[in-house]
């Protein structure tokens, strides 16, 4: 049924699934905002695209109505937003992993970015309670990442001298970027987090349970759409059809974790 793509799903929410206005579905957002949702990681078609899979139907359908220039880069603002997300989640995951006990401060000693930051905070303040040590160290990692991003982006803008937003889109490479040295350090940090956090047995157990909940909900609601709430059930086109599959995917994608677990318990007790 064309699978699930989070960028495409966001586009569907913003252009179709939100029902706030009488005259149209979706939200009243600018072309640049929607372009950024789809292309913040770079072109999605053409020679510059990193993507090898076919485009999700939602993106193809919307681009037919409003050309998002899928073969070009997004705006500078969208590029910065994507890299800001990298900064946020890497540092958030260091915090989460330490507080959850998935790894310890000593394990970070040889990890790029993290090791030097924790050593610097300890050298300056001596022994600290874990919360303060994390706060002092993570803020140093964020500072290094942000300053590197600013320096590299300013250098790229000075070299390219784009005269307009469209010139930014057509440069052939991003204007917002980390330096090669920082990109290498971030790669080392992500490798550590993958090995010690994302693939930790405790995390894997939760992930596999979550996958099973989603699979169960999808299979049941696709085969028996009468279990959907009334406003969703009215849109279903019958069991096991492609339109119903997309409807069920939209419904599940809008669930919070807690609601999905509660619905799984309710429906599988019922059935």
* Mean of pLDDT values over 25-49: 94
Chain-centroid distance, C-alpha 257: 16
- Per the DSSP assignment, residues forming a β-bridge with 26 are 19
Q: State the pLDDT confidence band at 51, using cuts at 50, 70 and 90.
A: confident
Q: State the pLDDT confidence band at 269, using cuts at 50, 70 and 90.
A: confident
- DSSP class per residue in 150-165: HHHHHHHHHHH---SH
pLDDT at 2: 84
Give the closest residue to 191 by CA, choosing from 122, 106, 92, 113: 113
DSSP 8-class letter at 176: S
* Mean of pLDDT values over 43-59: 90
Residue identified by tokens 């997004």 is: 74
* Mean of pLDDT values over 169-179: 96
pLDDT at 50: 83
Mean pLDDT taken over the chain: 95
Kind plus residue range of the DSSP H or E element containing 3: none
Q: C-alpha distances in angstroms, 186 versus 51, 95, 119, 120, 239?
A: 21, 16, 18, 18, 46
Give the closest residue to 130 by CA, choosing from 108, 146, 111: 108
Sign of the alpha-carbon dihedral angle for 214, 216, 222, 228: negative
69: left (phi over 0), alpha (psi -120 to 50) or beta: left
Q: State the pLDDT confidence band at 226, using cuts at 50, 70 and 90.
A: very high
Q: Degrees (nearest 5) of the Cα angle 109, 196, 142?
A: 55
Q: Within 13 A of 121's CA, how many CA atoms are on the CB side?
A: 22
Locate 23 and state its tokens.
């005259």
Q: What pLDDT digit, counting tens, does each position of 86-101 carry? A: 999 999 999 999 999 9
Kind plus residue range of the DSSP H or E element containing 99: helix 76-99
Contact 86, 92 (CB under 8 A): no
Q: Is 116 exposed, middle or buried (0-12, 13-18, 19+ CB in 10 A)?
A: middle
Q: Does residue 169 carry a pLDDT above 90?
A: yes
Q: What pLDDT digit, counting tens, does each position of 188-209 carry? A: 999 999 999 999 999 999 999 9
Q: C-alpha distances in angstroms, 251 versus 1, 38, 244, 262?
A: 15, 21, 10, 14
């Amino acid at each position: 049924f064309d699978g699930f793509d989070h960028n495409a799903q966001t586009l569907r929410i913003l252009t179709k699934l939100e029902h706030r206005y009488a005259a149209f579905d979706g939200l009243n957002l600018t072309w640049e905002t929607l372009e950024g949702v789809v292309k913040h990681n770079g072109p999605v078609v053409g020679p510059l695209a990193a993507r090898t899979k076919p485009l999700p139907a939602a993106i193809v359908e919307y681009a037919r109505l409003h050309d998002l220039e899928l073969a070009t880069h997004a705006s500078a603002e969208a590029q910065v937003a994507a890299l800001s997300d990298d900064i946020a989640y890497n540092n958030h995951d260091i915090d989460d992993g330490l507080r959850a006990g998935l790894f310890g401060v000593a394990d970070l000693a040889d990890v790029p970015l993290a090791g030097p930051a924790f050593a610097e905070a300890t050298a300056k303040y001596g022994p600290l309670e874990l919360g303060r040590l994390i706060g002092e160290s993570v803020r140093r990692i964020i500072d290094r990442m942000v300053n590197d991003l600013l320096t590299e982006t300013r250098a790229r803008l000075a070299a390219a001298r784009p005269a307009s937003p469209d010139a930014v889109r057509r440069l052939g490479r991003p204007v917002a970027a980390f330096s090669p040295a920082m990109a290498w350090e971030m790669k080392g940090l992500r490798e550590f987090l993958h090995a010690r956090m994302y693939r930790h047995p405790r995390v894997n157990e939760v992930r596999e349970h979550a996958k099973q909940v989603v699979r169960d909900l999808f299979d049941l609601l696709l085969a028996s759409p009468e279990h959907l709430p009334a406003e969703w059930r009215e849109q279903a086109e019958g069991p096991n059809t492609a339109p119903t599959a997309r409807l069920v995917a939209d419904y599940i994608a809008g669930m919070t974790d807690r609601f999905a677990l509660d619905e799984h318990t309710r429906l599988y007790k019922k059935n």
